[in-house]
Amino acid sequence: MSRNASYSDYREMLEEIQRRYEQARAGYTFDFTTEIEPFLNKYKVLADQLQHIPTDDRLTETIREVMSDELMELLMSCHISRFSLKLYHEKYKYINMWVNHAGEEGLL
């Protein structure tokens, strides 16, 4: 993605993360070369772009950096069945909350 990501790009990514985590929890084993690596290459761009979206009073530079790091961890961990369900939900909700905020404020 050479263009700036839109709110819908982030929504699509979050839906795909959810789908993959559910598959992993159900016992599916992802192939790194054909499934995980292309997924990471596609969506790490979105994680990087989070650091460059406009800032407002709530979505500060520090929060953007944390959100990018959390998203990268979530992108990798959603393929692992033993990744804690509680931790997954905490990270997912954190990213979802800030993506929604950025979308509502017109920052994405």
Q: Which two tokens stand for residue 95?
A: 């990213």
Domains of the chain: residue spans and CATH: 7-104 (1.20.120.440)
Contact 46/64 with Cβ under 8 angstroms?
A: no
**Mean pLDDT in residue range 10-37:** 97
What's the whole-number average pLDDT of the chain?
A: 93
What whole-number distance in Å separates Cα of residue 39 and Cα of residue 80?
14
Which pLDDT does position 108 carry in this prediction?
87
pLDDT at 18 over 80: yes
pLDDT of 1 above 80: no
The per-residue pLDDT for range 37-79, each reduced to its tens digit, is 999 999 999 999 998 898 888 989 999 999 999 999 999 999 9
Q: Which of 6-20, 26-40, 48-62 has the lowest mean pLDDT?
A: 48-62
